[in-house]
Amino acid sequence: MPDAVRIWIVSARVSPDELARYRALLDADERARAATLAQAATRDRFTVAHGALRVLVGRAVDLPPERLSWRRGRHGKPTLTHPRGGPQTSLSYSDELVAIAVAGDRAVGVDIQHPTPGLDPVALADRFFAAEEARLVRSGPDAAVRADRFARLWARKEAVVKAAGGRLWPQLALPVHRDDVVRCGDPVGVHRVTDVATPGGYRVAVALAGEPPFDVATSYGPTGWTDRPAGTPAEDRRTR
């Protein structure tokens, strides 16, 4: 039976009461990191993302969310340290959405991207991507398609790098367009990556360490979801 990864895609816009509840779950390090963010919207998004991650993992391990703890590795990838042996996790945020992934024993990476107004996807792809992928972005018939292709490739690359626990910038030329099995990391390891259907012009990708396929269950929910049983929002289940 394939391994499973559960993804939640939720809005970063929440009510003041819900934001306060999320903030109360964070540990001292998370609150300090949030405080360094200059814009209120960015601080709130960070708080929602990390608070929601605590809620979801707390449900998975049957512990209060505020009792969970993570340790950041050499390149910033967090590992759950309390409880030990708990699920692998990853989170990402872009614009007004947050993506959270909870997996089993295989290291997981998730990334969400929304095309950024004012960026030149062709110039960026020419600078950072492999030649074939740069040509793919450049050949888009209009600006919207070019931006979407760039966002998809970037999300796939970042998901793989997160699963590998490495740094993104040295890996931007990593080819991810044609194959779902990608070699990445130090030492180099095999990772499987796939796209996740997402509304609103966003691109989401998830990657797991190892070559075997895995099941993806994706839940979509706006705000107010912390009081619902996991899986209550609309759900999509597929094997990748």
Q: What is the pLDDT of residues 136-156, one digit of tens each?
A: 999 999 999 999 999 999 999
Angle at 230 between CA 76 and CA 211, to 5 degrees: 50
| Residue 225: predicted pLDDT | 38
Looking at residue 228, what is its pLDDT?
36
Percent with pLDDT over 70 in the chain? 91
pTM confidence score = 0.89
Q: How far is CA 127 from CA 113, 124, 133, 155, in A?
A: 19, 5, 11, 17
Q: What would the mean pLDDT of 169-186 be, rounded to a whole number?
A: 87
Distance CA 22, CA 44 (A): 9
* Mean per-residue pLDDT, 118-135: 95
Residue that the structure tokens 């996807």 belong to: 121
Distance CA 33, CA 43 (A): 9
Rounded CA separation 58/64 (Å): 6
Nearest to 66 by CA among 51, 46, 84, 81: 51
Contacts 24+ apart (CB under 8 A), 139-144: 144/115
